[in-house]
Amino acid sequence: MLQFLALLVDSFFGDPPNKYHPVAWMGSGISGARKYAPTTDTQRLLGYGGLIAFGGVGLTAGMGWVAAQIIHLLPKPLSWLAEASILKIMLSVGGLTRAANEIQSALDTGGLAEAQKLTSWHLVSRDTSELTESQIAAATVESVAENTSDSIVAPLFYYTLFGLPGTFAYRFANTADAMLGYRDVEREWLGKIPARLDDLLNFLPARLTALFFIIITWINGDNAERTIAVWQRDRHKTESPNAGHPMSAAAGSLGVSLEKTDHYSLGEGLPSPQANDIGRAIRLMQGTAIIAAGIFGLFSLLKRKKK
């Protein structure tokens, strides 16, 4: 099961430097294309954003197909290791763990300013300079929960369905949304199609992630009933049609409230998160990665047997 092997490769070797990282290449390509975007006409901006999104998806899917063809020329088990290594690069288990651990360590040692800087650097795009320790912990838990869907479950999901081309295409779409899907003056229209494409692609993975959170909570002997209740009540409170699913399920699983002022409040009535809740969110994410790899890997085996 290559999904499990990819997690093992990640645990031993981590991420390559950005200059060798395909997702970093995708980001550089999007940044380069953005320089040539129209400046005023909204229809042209909308079309150019669509060209970036769908053109990039097609190009990266082609790259994934070429990589798969080359890998299949290798003898087993070398081909398995090569494919798992490429799949691992499309995941962010180790990267998320390291980023969240750094923030927790800063909070544990009283370094609020350092934690604010790390949160802004690694996880969120908004200003964090005025956030309290609890708000930093909440932002970190939210980011770990949402990225469990975007950067772990979804890539594994699309790999299981479509192999490396599917994973490459998904990661490009997700990266395009992360870079262009904002409602500021410059990107309101440019990022509209990338954002809608990302919403579509994450529809099932986000809901599967919430389900996996519930399963992990039950396996750990924690309060699965509360997890289900908070998820059912709060999953539609976020502006994003998908982010509320993993975040509300995480709030219920961890027994904390997650609030972004003037935007949403998930798990209302539960205690505010503290630094140690970041570690609990990391363990929830890691357990979900294992569950997802197991379920998707089993599905892949069944697909092969039918051929």
pLDDT tens digits, 130-160: 899 999 999 999 999 999 999 999 999 999 9
Q: Read off the pLDDT band of 307 (50, 70, 90).
A: low
Q: Read off the pLDDT band of 241 (50, 70, 90).
A: very high
Is 125 a residue whose pLDDT tops 80? Answer: no
Is 11 a residue whose pLDDT tops 90? Answer: no
pTM for the whole structure: 0.94
pLDDT tens digits, 20-77: 889 999 999 999 999 999 987 899 999 999 999 999 999 999 999 999 999 999 998 9
Segment 106-119 shows an average pLDDT of 93
Is 306 a residue whose pLDDT tops 90? Answer: no
pLDDT tens digits, 273-290: 999 999 999 999 999 999
The DSSP code sequence of the chain is -HHHHHHHHHHHH-PPPGGG-HHHHHHHHHHHHHTTS-SS-HHHHHHHHHHHHHHHHHHHHHHHHHHHHHHTTSPTTHHHHHHHHHHHHT--HHHHHHHHHHHHHHHHTT-HHHHHHHHHHHT-SS--TT--HHHHHHHHHHHHHHHHIIIIIHHHHHHHHHHHHHHHHHHHHHHHHHHH---STTTTTTTHHHHHHHHHHTHHHHHHHHHHHHHHHHHTTS-HHHHHHHHHHHTT-SSSTTTHHHHHHHHHHHT--EEETTTEEESTTSPPP-HHHHHHHHHHHHHHHHHHHHHHHHHHHHHHHH-
Segment 105-129 shows an average pLDDT of 89
Is 216 a residue whose pLDDT tops 90? Answer: yes
* Most confident range, picked from 6-10, 184-188, 228-232, 296-300: 228-232
Q: Read off the pLDDT band of 124 (50, 70, 90).
A: confident
Please state the domain extents for the chain. Answer: 2-306
Mean pLDDT for all residues in the chain? 93
CA distance 272 to 269: 9
